Structures are given as structure tokens and as C-alpha cells.
Amino acid sequence: MRFPLMFLLLPVYLFAVSIPEKALYLEGKSDTGMILAHGKGMDPDFKVVKPLRLALNQDLGFHTLSLQMPNQYEAYEDYEKEQPKVDAMIDQAISFLHSKGVKKIYLMGHSLGAGMTSSYLVSHPNAPITGYIAVGCRGNKSKLISCTDNMPKIKIKTFDIWGKSSSEDEAFAAIRLPLVNENYRQYGVEGANHVLDGSIEFFIEEIEGWLAK
């Protein structure tokens, strides 16, 4: 009877952790992974996140987990009410990657996904995230999911990258320019719009270079 009792007393996290609903997972060959969050109106296998998740898996052996972010509102600030669910989903994603043997986790968000992942990092300063990649990160009427408000509060290594052909992205990146230091890097991709059309390969090269450093 001793062994069954010990089995029942084992912590829940030692057992299989389910993948977040509708998330797309690629198993890697290393002990490093990345959680990706798409932008408004997109999905886990669409622009920006799709080519990045595939490249990191193929080129670097990363485990990649692309989340299905909330997508039901038109106004950006309406997504505030979904932030608690997103926080819980990121926590679940971290646990899932840990269950796959991943020891080092990066977090990436594009556009609305950047706003919501930046909010997560502010409210979870001790989360086991090694570094953060924000793509096309903007400010808006919502302080909760605004990169303008959240980025100064994030303490982990951060790569702030955007397409320079987007005047809106350029303007918000300029606001964050004073944050640049050894832990906070900014890079504007020449000739790229908000979803990096026509420059996605160069965008991926920049991210892989940052990860290598």
C-alpha cells in the first residue's frame, strides 16, 4: 500500500501537462523553446509567427509553441478583459514546455500579441522566461496591454523589432528609444511593413542572431 499512497501524493506538475487549446507545437532537439503570440486578426499559423516558429525549430532545434490568442474584438482596448485568460494560457504553455524537457524559454509577441505578452511579463516578473521578443509593439488607449506603458517595467533581456515602413510602428519605437541599453535592443527592419511582408527572412536572421548572442 505504500507505493500507491506515494503515487497519490506526488505533485501534479510531475504528470503530463496539456497543451493550450488550439496551440501549435513543434518538438525540438534542444532544451530551449519559444512561446509565440500572434497579432490581432491572425492565428497560430499565420503571418510573422508561422515563419518564425518553423525557422527556429529547423535552424536552432527549438521547441516552438504558437498560441491561439483571443481574436473576437475589433477595438484593441477591448482585449484588456481577456488578459487574465492569456496570463493563464502562458503559464500553461510554460508548464507544457517544461514537461517536454525545455529548460530555457523565450517569449515572443507580435502587435496585439506583443501588448498582451508584455502585460504578462509585467504582472509575472518572476516567470521563468529567459528573454523577450516584441515585434511591431504599439501603444494605445489601454495601459494594461500597451507596450508604451509595459516595456519600461520589463527587466529581462528584450529585443524590440519592427518594420520601418510602418509609420505607426516607427513612431512607437521612437518613444521606446530611451530604453535601449545592454539588455534592451531595438532594430527596425528596412523595407518591412507591420507584418514584415517581403522582409521575413531578414527578420528571422536578426532574431536568430540576437538569440545566438
Average pLDDT of the chain to the nearest whole number: 92
User: What pLDDT band is residue 140 in, cutting at 50, 70 and 90?
Assistant: confident
Looking at residue 16, what is its pLDDT?
66
Question: Which structural domains are found in the chain, ordered by start?
Answer: 23-212 (3.40.50.1820)
Nearest to 210 by CA among 130, 103, 138, 101: 130
- Using the predicted structure, report yes or no on whether residue 28 has a pLDDT greater than 70: yes
Mean pLDDT of the region 127-146: 93
Question: What does the chain come to in residues?
Answer: 213
What order do you get walking across the sheet with 24-26 strand by strand? 24-26, 63-67, 32-37, 104-110, 131-135, 157-163, 184-189
Q: C-alpha 164: how far from its chain's center?
A: 21
The pLDDT assigned to 213 comes to 86
Percent of the chain residues topping a pLDDT of 90: 86
Can you give the pTM of this predicted structure? 0.91
Q: What would the mean pLDDT of 113-134 be, rounded to a whole number?
A: 98
pLDDT at 4 over 90: no
| pLDDT, mean of residues 75-97 | 96
pLDDT at 196: 96
What pLDDT score was predicted for residue 13? 42
> How far apart are alpha carbons 95 and 17 in whole angstroms?
7
- Greatest C-alpha distance within the chain: 68
Q: Among candidates 132, 137, 110, 112, which has minimal Cα distance to 121?
A: 132
Query: In the predicted model, is pLDDT for residue 89 greater than 90?
Result: yes
What are φ and ψ of residue 138, in 5° steps? -125, 170
Query: Confidence band (pLDDT; 50, 70, 90) for 39?
Result: very high
pLDDT at 61 over 70: yes
